[in-house]
A = this chain, B = another copy of it.
Amino acid sequence: MKFEQLYADRARCMKTSAVREFFKLTEQPDVMSFAGGFPSADFFPMDKVNEVLSALIAEEGRFALQYGATEGYGKLRGYIAEKMTKEGAPCTAEQILITNGSQQGMDLVSKLFVNTGDVVLVEEPGYVGGLGAIYNYEADRVPIPLDDDGIRTDLLAACLRKLKLENRLPKFIYLVPNFQNPTGVCMSLERRRELLALARQYNFLILEDNPYGELRYEGEAIPSIKSMDTEGRVIYLGSFSKTFSPGIRVGWLMAEPEIIAKLSSAKGSTDLCSNSLGQRLAYRFAASGYIEKHVASLLPRYQERRDLMLDCMEKYFPPGVKWTRPQGGFFIWVTFPHGMSAHEILLKAIEQKVAFVDGAGFFVNDNGRNTARFSFSEASPDKIRKGIAILGEILEAEMAVACKKEKTA
């Protein structure tokens, strides 16, 4: 590379995400992709969008095509503040920053808080986009394992005691408490409380990322960590990407006004403002009350796909393969028998036009080689049936080979 010697040190932390590489693959229409965490394009409310956009350009095109305030479109901030308040986290519009999807929230928070070598706690496995955003600022990401109730607060407490002795207390913890990406699990109420107590005790922030919370297909909703936060210690990320459209790139960040002011300044230097057209489209779509109806209509449709994928896994996957049973969101987390390589299974699957995400990318270190993330949100029922059946065959064959080897040895 000709100009590599001019790169900053952090360039070594800029890695191409395995998930993003799949964005390209999934553009081929005959691929059975369980890879991207995409909402289904089949469910986009096209007619409504067309109607809203026509009115928008006719009535406020001057503003929809113009630069807007860095903090975001005022009415949208107000709407979101009301929404958050209704959901148990009282706030004003001044506490809302509009972002280009939640991903920008992760970037800006990392930019504001992370010095090279600072500790940031992450879930293991954790959302690859969050891990990347944090890593780009050269954080030392310390992983805390998850189980079916979310992050293990007992292990977190032990880790914090150790970090304190080393004088390396974390700046913040990043986590997805609802229908976690990639595992689909929810963090229990008790653990949310324990986490808040630990954050207070050791004085770090909590970056709560909640893109999937509204997509619950069964069970009781659990209060957000933000709703239990009495100190302004939680920075909350929300998004229209899963409930409406990711292509408009409109998410939000809720925090204390002084943090919003600082993040807003950082955002200004990053991209001046988020796109006005998408913000005003989201506002009209949401504030008209249409979004509630739309989300309600999404639930049975995504639930159908989840149920189908779980049923197919039950039917086609050989014994020894394990998976989570998420109550919402987009993801099922699959664990192959120890020693099997998800990467090699993926390469074989791709030959037969089936895609999922190799789990290793969701781990900070070299773990998780026998894990995989399956998204049930985007593929049609036909593709789910066919794709999981094909994978079942591949897995049967792999396990037969593994068994033979073991016997020979």
Contact = CB atoms under 8 A, between A and B. Distances in A.
A111 B136 contact: yes
Contact of A8 (B27, B112, B241): B112
Nearest to A204: B6
A286 interface: no
Number of copies: 2
A210 interface: no
A66 B171 CA distance: 33
A409 interface: no
| Count class of interface residues, chain A | 35 or more
Interface string A267-279: 0111111111110
Interface string A317-336: 00000000000000000000
B258 A1 contact: yes
20 contacts: A10-B111, A10-B115, A17-B269, A20-B268, A38-B67, A39-B66, A41-B62, A46-B65, A49-B61, A50-B57, A65-B247, A100-B275, A101-B271, A101-B272, A103-B271, A136-B266, A136-B269, A136-B270, A249-B273, A275-B277
A107 interface: yes
A268 B131 CA distance: 12
B69 A15 contact: no
Contact of A268 (B16, B67, B261, B273): B16
A387 interface: no
A1 B261 CA distance: 12
